Copies of this chain bind each other. A is one copy, B any other.
Amino acid sequence: MYKLTKLESGVCAADGFYADGVSAGLKAENAKDMAFIYSSSICEIASVFTTNKMTAAPIRHFRAKGDFKTNFVLINAKNANAMTGKAGIADIEEILTTLPKEIKNPVMSSTGVIGVRVPKERLIAGAKLFDLTKREPNSAANAIMTTDSFSKEIAFRVELEDGASFNIGAMAKGAGMINPAMATMLCFITTDAKVSKSEMQELLDEVTLTTFNAASVDGDTSTNDTVMLLSNALSGSYNREAFRDALHKIMLFLATEMVADGEGATKMVTYKVTGAKSNAEAEVVAKALSNSLLVKTALYGEDPNWGRIASTVGASGVDADEETLSISFNDLCVYKSGVLLFDAAMEERASAVMKLDRFTISCDLGLAEGSFTSYGCDLGYEYVKINADYRT
């Protein structure tokens, strides 16, 4: 057995990790827009990147280095350094060479507008403001935000039975362009657990499927999506089960926080799909629901329009039948195996559920045992406003 205790110290929760944010003048009004994560001891890295074919320059730069260890990640907001070709890679190399000598194999990560060269001089000047002795995780988490309305951090102390312990913490950004295949989201997880690179990668891949890849704001997948897990092993201790649990809690928390912070979103909805012919078919349905514009606008209107849920299930392409389908809003079953249950009294109760900030829509396909859970939000006027005007 093991015990998890929540900590407030984000990416600085693990021993030997430092972080802070500074202003390089990319955001208006001198808001912080550049952050670093530094480890006093060199780190193994596990990573998951976007499936977008137009991979941004920082990801190409990372991949080109092959197998390596690092003690430093530099992150900038406002410019994604995507669709910038070889010049975008050269810009990264030039910026990273200006960093102090104690930094080994630095990694860069960017988020923001696509198709514009990064303001190299500003970033080089910004990096000179970094103080590697600072432990300001919240400052770093704020610096990497773009359209986010709040910063996203979490950390745990993991105590094992034998008295040993390790810490794991993370920060993330993301509020739009978020889709079940990794999106305009960055997430950095730091730990002092003594975990091997291969095991970190295996767990990161596995946990991504049911957390970040189960979250959707708008069905768009960006050029820059990155989840990076850094371990400096300084605690000297590790337990796979406890580590996996903490990692899952961290990634699920950050994924649902992103959805709750979905651009213009007023509510976060969990779509629990069961009874499908396979887990894969349940996943198709769950993601179809979290991405349906008609479902999302009904949520925004707080309209318990279960017919759109049924139609979206049917349109998803997997095996489904109105005679076996059941639909519930939280515990309220509104349609059961082909029987119309909906009347004025039920509509009133269903409307009350729809007014909640967070609730669950369950769809039991009634065919077999396949299940999957996804996370989505509503779509309202603010989403349109934010995305019609994003560049300006």
Contacts and interface: CB of A to CB of B under 8 A. Distances in A.
A221 B115 contact: no
B303 A51 contact: no
Residue among A179, A315, A383 with the highest chain B CB neighbour number at 10 A:
A315
Given A298-B387, A384-B379, A390-B305, A314 B52 contact: yes
A184 to B, nearest CB: 9
Given A115-B306, A323-B85, A293 B218 contact: yes
A391 interface: yes
Contacts of A114: 305, 307-308, 310-311
B54 A320 contact: yes
Nearest to A53: B314
A392 B294 contact: no
B52 A322 contact: no
A95 interface: no
Copies of the chain in the assembly: 2
A83 B305 CA distance: 12
A239 interface: no
B380 A115 contact: no
A314 B82 CA distance: 11
B220 A83 contact: no
B300 A384 contact: yes
Summarize A's interface: helix, strand, loop or mixed. Answer: loop
A191 interface: no
A297 B51 CA distance: 23
Contacts of A310: 54, 82-83, 114-115, 223
A380 B390 contact: no
B384 A307 contact: no
Interface in A274-304: 291-294, 297-298, 300-301, 303
Nearest to A316: B53
A204 to B, nearest CB: 21
Contacts of A222: 311, 315
14 contacts: A51-B315, A53-B313, A83-B322, A85-B338, A114-B310, A115-B310, A220-B308, A220-B312, A221-B315, A222-B315, A300-B388, A301-B392, A379-B384, A380-B384
